[in-house]
Amino acid sequence: MERKISKEKYILAALLTLLIFSLGLTLGILLDSVRLQKSEKLSKQQEIDYGSLQLQYLYLTTFSENEDSCSVLKVALDKSIKDLSVSLEKFDQYKHNSNFNKDEFNMVARRYILDNIKYWLFAQKSQQKCAIDLVTVLYFYSENDCSICPDQGVLLTYYKKIYGEKLLIFPINADLEENEAMITVIKSKYNITQYPTIIIGNKKYEGVVKKQQLGKVICNNFVNKDICYNYKEDNEEDVKTIINDSEVNNS
């Protein structure tokens, strides 16, 4: 028997497969640019929100000491930071599923880091000015060479879910340090050498801070201890030990 090779069928199948693949890839590229546009739009919105906040603060410090403006500022701050964390979460998803435009996404990522640092500074400033009872956490992590970072992320998310707008977490992806000098500036201020590292109320905690300890540290930084979650049974002594712990940690 003379054996046949169905060359035309091989080629036709290859062409059709390629067609379907290029359709899929085109859709992917299209969607990617839509994602990028949306991320950029959200980031621009952040910029405007921040400008508004700054102006409110300036107004506050220039003209009045009255409580009412403080509460307005607090509401505005809450809202902006909430928007920031939502759009950051979205951006992380987009970045994860994006196969193209890596450079553009890195640029947007930088913008988010700057936003985070700005808001962190602003939150601390307005905290003093308006006596807002909130806790700020600056969270340094790395996606590339830190296998335990997700553990800290999970625990921070856990407390964020509990405290909501009273706990402000500002994640800083240290992998972008070579692109963004501001990361280096903050890193050297707190002498950050390893990941994960969190800064809570000007104190540094290196490595993964476990659930119990993290809960106590956060609770400790609230002025009004009534809002603490699951620590009502704790006595004064416990809190004191934690304070000592954290100071040791800081040194």
Partner 1 sequence: MEFINIILLVIYFISLYFTIFWIIVFIEDKPPSISNNKKNLYSSSISIIIPAYNEQESIEKTLLSVLLLDYPKENLQIIVVDDGSTDNTEQKVKEVISANSSYDISLFQQKNKGKGAALNAGLSKATGEYFACLDADSFVHKDTLRKMVDFYATAEQDIVIVTPTLKVASPKRFWQKIQAIEYIISIFIAKLMSKVDCLYVAPGPFSLYKTAIIKKLGGFDENNLTEDQEIAYRVQKNNLKIKQCPAADVYTTAPKTFSELYAQRNRWFKGGLFNALKYKNMLLNKSYGDFGILQMSVNVMLFIFSITTVSFFFYYTITPLLRSFYNLYLVGFDIKPFLRDIFMINLDLLSLDITTMFIINIALLITIFLIYLSYKNAEQQITFFDLLYLIPYLFIYYIILSFIAVVIVIELFFGKKQKW
Contacts of 223 (CB under 8 A, 6+ apart): 131, 133
Q: Which residue spans within 109-196 are E strands per DSSP?
A: 135-141, 167-173
Asked if 17 touches partner 1 (CB under 8 A), the answer is yes
Residues 57 to 86 in contact with partner 1, rule: CB under 8 A: none
Choices 69-77, 87-95, 219-227, 241-249 (CB under 8 A): range interacting with partner 1: 87-95
Side chain identity at residue 227, one-letter code: I
Residue 75 corresponds to which tokens in the numbers above?
Answer: 């509401």
By CB under 8 A, residue 23 contacts partner 1: yes
Kindly state the smallest distance separating residue 141's Cβ from partner 1, in Å.
15
Nearest CA among 128, 164, 133 for reference residue 226: 133
Q: Whose Cβ is closer to partner 1: residue 127's or residue 173's?
A: 173
Note the helical H segments in 169-222: 181-189, 211-221
- Residue 35 in the binding site for partner 1 (CB under 8 A): yes
Is 3 a binding residue for partner 1 by CB under 8 A? The answer is yes
Distance, in Å, from the CA atom of 66 to the CA atom of 95, rounded to the nearest integer, reads 43
Pull the structure tokens for residue 147: 């296998």
Q: Please choose, out of 8-16, 52-60, 169-177, 188-196, the segment that lies near partner 1 by the rule CB under 8 A.
A: 8-16
Instruction: Work out whether 145 is an interface residue with partner 1 (CB under 8 A).
Output: no
Continuous segment of H or E residues that includes residue 41: helix 7-63
Judged by CB under 8 A, does residue 34 bind partner 1?
yes
Is there binding between residue 162 and partner 1 (CB under 8 A)? yes
End-to-end CA distance of the chain: give it in Å, rounded: 86
Single-letter residue type at 149: C
Comparison of 5 and 181: residue with beta carbon closer to partner 1: 5
User: Under the rule (CB under 8 A), what is the footprint of partner 1?
Assistant: 1, 3-6, 9-10, 12-14, 16-17, 20-21, 23-25, 27-28, 31, 34-35, 38, 90, 93-94, 97, 99, 150-151, 154-155, 158, 161-162, 211
